Amino acid sequence: MTALESIAHIGDVPLTIEAELDRRVMTVRRILELKPGTVIKLSRSAGENISLLVGGALVGSGEIVVLEEIVGVRITDFNDDD
């Protein structure tokens, strides 16, 4: 039995995947001034490596990609702790 077959019974359990692009420190005043369409500059750009987390645990890595006008993550590796 493969690893995927052994966990097939939990295959439909939803999990939150986090891909942290950047962190920004802002004043409360600045946050209250944000409106739809406001652009917040980040220090990271397309092609940079990022960490992928599930439940706060590092599960893999990826890179930032831009597809048309959408920012996404291309998964490049999964942690294998066997």
- What is the CATH classification number for the domain harbouring 45? 2.30.330.10
Domain span holding position 30: 14-78
- ∠ CA 67-18-60, nearest 5°, is 85
- 36-to-8, 24, 32, 57 alpha-carbon distances in Å: 41, 18, 12, 32
Give CA–CA dist 54/18, Å, rounded: 6
Domain assignment present for 66: yes
Domain assignment present for 58: yes
Domain assignment present for 59: yes
**Secondary structure (3-state) at 58:** strand
Domain assignment present for 25: yes
Provide the residue-wise pLDDT of the chain in tens; the chain has 82 residues. 787 788 888 888 888 888 877 788 889 999 999 999 998 887 877 788 888 988 888 899 999 888 888 888 899 998 776 5
Amino acid letter for position 55: G
Domain assignment present for 1: no
Domain assignment present for 51: yes
Domain assignment present for 4: no
